Chains A and B, each alone.
Chain A
Amino acid sequence: MTVKSPEAPPVREHRPVPAVQARRRPSTRPRLLPYGLLLPAVVVVAVVSVFPIVFALNLSLHETRFTQLEDFVGLDNYAAILGSSAGWASIGRSLIYVVASLALAIPMSLGIAHLLNRPARFRLVFRALILMPWVISQTVAALLWRWLLNADYGPLGLGDVAGTRIDVFADPVQAMAALILVNVWISYPLATILCLAALQTIPAELEEASDVDGAGPFTRFRRITLPMMAPTLFVVAILLTLLYFNMVTLVLTFTAGGPFGATQLVSLDAFNESFSFFNLGLGAAYSVILFVFNIVFGAAYIKLIRSEGDG
């Protein structure tokens, strides 16, 4: 899977073709063919994404009453969010949530992928087991973990850990930590499988060669694995970032924003305003803010990978 900055042409364009062939059929290649091939995809994406996002932008600039658009209010809805400490607190928590989840999920996926890449007995079994959370929906994941972590009747027995009671849902920091843990649990399998796939393209001979050189595993990882994995890690980072910023169902079911508002994320604000409180305009403003964060992070990754390529 590649996501790269579109302005930069692919590194290995499989052209020019041999000159003879190129001359042979230069004009018979239908000029409209590529457009015809690409058009259906663009059209479907445009109808389902672009019209609604324009619609949402418009909503965010209006006062709404249930599903009715009322007065144009300019940026008032945004001002209500960005002008309040609660709004910034949500943004801050979203950033913590996303960054901490990434910081856990990516190294973990890389590590597990590395393990799964080595010949081992029951490799298929391990792969199937480790990737299983991938097919668990967010609702179910949240419910199961809520139960596991419950201090009173959870099977992990957190009510009495060497005499101390650990109630993660009563403590703001622990609740956020638990939320991040569950988030990582449902999202690392996709990252792992992408990393695993990328690892398989690294020729074993390269690693052997570095062994001969006497390089330790960490040097090898830094000199060989990491550079070759960079494009994949970039894709993984983008996919996970989008997933995390936009996460609603998991948070709603796991903590619903509590305790003490400690897990109130921008995505949850967007959901509540739109679907629980019927403030569609304000809800749209929250989701546009999410959109902006997605773009900013996406652009930052693109910039990062480009500068790495230069250096």
Chain B
Amino acid sequence: MAESIRTGRRKPAGPLAYAALVAASLFAVGPLLWALSTSFKSPDAVLTDTSWIPSAPTLENYTIVLFESQVPRYLFNSVVVAGATVLATLVLATLGAYATARFRFRGRGASLFFILMTSMIPGIAILVPLYFLAVEVGVYDSYLGLIVVYTAWQVPTVLWMLRGFFQTIPTSLEEAGRIDGASDLRVMVQLVLPLAKPGLAAAAVIAFVYVWNDYLIAATMVSSDDKRLVSVGLYNYLSQYGIEWGQLTAAVLVTIVPMVVLFVLMEKRLVAGLSAGATKG
């Protein structure tokens, strides 16, 4: 599997490859460097100081964002909602993926087809109905409403992904477990899940980032300020008087930090997990 394959020797990168890597990195972070630069400029300097290195750097924007705004609260909300969504998605999708990967049963193909179809529904099509449904059921403007919607939104992708992953895990282990008299559920939880960890980690990261970035659902399902997610909260800097660039960019950078940390921590697992699941066609 992935781990063993990686030990194979590939040609190290040459100067051309490094040049390409640097170019790609610049394309990727160029706009963010500009955001970084702007975040250290005072409101007056934002439009007048057009250099990439602020001539009079200030921490004012960060102070305001961290201590005088609701951004920390939004961050907390996003972490809670994204975290809960990841958990719920993994539980539902793991069960479903395991069932469809390991058992033959009537309606399996139809169920898989159904789940695939729902991922084709444009979010914009169902925002309004979802809103009314959420209000009626009493989950509008609550974490729960967001979590349920995001979970349902993520389950199809993650289920298909994990199904591919389970198919790469040999069944011999499970058979051995069954011979020892373990129940199907125990086999799944104690023998298969530990092997599926990389796949679960990769799925978790993808689902987490999705929730982190989403704007439309977050803006539709929640309206009180103390439950707002970070992607919507950034809209506070788009005022009638124009964009508060310094504070907006500072807020953006503050919100990137946890994601970068998450990525660096998860990088190995993410790639390894995906490589096992991704190619299983």
Shortest A306–chain B CB gap in Å is 11
| Interface flag for A170 (CB, 8 Å) | no
| Residue A56 at the chain B interface, CB threshold 8 Å | yes
Give min CB distance, A206 to chain B, whole Å. Answer: 9
Which residues on the B side are within 8 Å of A204 (C-beta)? 5, 8-10
Convert B79-111 into 0s and 1s, putting 1 for each residue whose CB lies closer than 8 angstroms to a CB of A.
000000000000111011011111111011111
Question: In the bound complex, what is the Cα–Cα distance between A118 and B20 (angstroms)?
Answer: 12
Q: Which residue of B28, B47, B167, B235 is within 8 Å of A10 (Cβ)?
A: B167
Q: How far is it, in angstroms, between the C-alpha of A128 and the C-alpha of B170 when the chains are bound?
A: 33
Most buried by B among A119, A136, A283: A136
Nearest residue, chain A, Cβ from B13: A120
Q: Is B206 an interface residue (CB 8 A)?
A: yes
Q: Chain A residues with Cβ under 8 A from B2's Cβ?
A: 197, 200-201
A 186-205 contacts with B by CB, 8 A? 189-190, 193-194, 196-205
Whether A41 and B155, one on each chain, are in contact in the complex, defined by CB atoms closer than 8 angstroms, is yes
Taking A24-B179, A115-B24, A140-B252 as contacts, is the C-beta distance between A33 and B99 under 8 angstroms?
Answer: yes
A21 adjacent to B116 (CB under 8 Å)? no
Residue A101 at the chain B interface, CB threshold 8 Å? no
Of B35, B126, B160, B185, the contact of A53 (CB 8 Å cutoff): B126
Chain B residues with Cβ under 8 A from A267's Cβ? Answer: 122, 124
Contact B31 A185 (CB under 8 A): yes
Query: For residue A280, which residue of chain B has the nearest CB?
Result: B128
Point out the residues of chain A lying under 8 angstroms from B279, CB to CB.
Answer: 197-198, 201, 228-229, 231-232
Q: Is the CB of B122 within 8 A of A270?
A: yes
- A91 part of interface (Cβ distance < 8 Å): no
Interface size on B, residues (CB 8 A): 119
Looking at chain B's contact residues, the main secondary structure is: helix
- B156 at the A interface (CB under 8 A): yes
Q: Decide: A40 and B95 in contact? CB cutoff 8 A.
A: yes
Nearest Cβ in chain A — how far from B94, in angstroms? 9
Roughly how many angstroms separate A295 CA and B159 CA in the complex, as a whole number? 19
- Residues of chain B with a CB closer than 8 A to A21's CB: 175, 178-179
Mask: chain A, 49-65; 1 = CB below 8 Å from B; 0 = not? 11111011001000000
- The interface residues of chain A lying within 8 Å CB-to-CB of B252 are 136, 140
CB atoms of B122 and A1 under 8 A apart: no
Q: A212 at the A/B interface (Cβ < 8 Å)?
A: no
Number of cross-chain contacts by CB at 8 Å: 338
The CA-CA distance from A232 to B103 in the complex, in Å, is 24
The answer on a CB contact under 8 Å between A44 and B148 is yes
- Complex CA gap A256/B125 in Å reads 19
Q: Which of A38, A52, A155: most chain B Cβ within 10 A?
A: A38
* A135 interfacial by beta-carbon distance below 8 Å: yes
Within 8 A of A (CB), among B248-276: 248, 252, 256, 259-260, 263-264, 267, 270-276
Query: Would B263 and A131 count as touching, CB distance under 8 A?
Result: yes
Q: Is A129 an interface residue (CB 8 A)?
A: yes
Interface assignment of B200: CB less than 8 Å from any CB of chain A = no
> Which residues of chain B from 143 to 176 have any CB-CB distance to chain A below 8 Å in the complex?
148-149, 151-153, 155-157, 159-161, 163-164, 167, 170-171, 175
Residue in A31, A41, A134 with the greatest tally of chain B CB atoms within 10 Å: A41
Across the interface, name the chain A residue whose C-beta is closest to B243. A143
B191 located at the interface, meaning its Cβ lies under 8 Å from any Cβ of chain A in the complex: no
Residue in chain B with minimal CB distance to A54: B129
Pick the contact of A127: B50, B98, B267 (CB < 8 A). B267
Closest residue on chain A to residue B130 by CB atoms: A52
Whether B122 contacts A147 by the Cβ 8 Å rule is no
Within 8 A of B (CB), among A1-47: 1-4, 6-7, 10-15, 17-18, 21, 24-25, 29-31, 33-35, 37-38, 40-42, 44-47
Can you list 29 contacts pairing A with B, beta carbon distance less than 8 Å? A6-B112, A7-B109, A14-B102, A37-B95, A37-B99, A38-B95, A38-B99, A44-B148, A45-B115, A56-B126, A124-B264, A124-B267, A135-B213, A135-B263, A140-B35, A148-B30, A193-B270, A196-B274, A197-B2, A197-B274, A199-B275, A200-B2, A230-B281, A231-B280, A232-B279, A246-B123, A267-B122, A274-B127, A283-B128
**Closest 9 interchain pairs by CB?**
A204-B8, A197-B274, A48-B152, A231-B281, A2-B164, A287-B125, A52-B126, A1-B161, A52-B129
A248-B123, A267-B122, A290-B124 are known contacts; what are 16 more A-B pairs with Cβ within 8 Å?
A: A1-B277, A7-B113, A10-B280, A17-B171, A45-B115, A45-B155, A45-B156, A51-B129, A129-B29, A136-B32, A144-B34, A144-B35, A197-B279, A201-B276, A246-B124, A249-B215
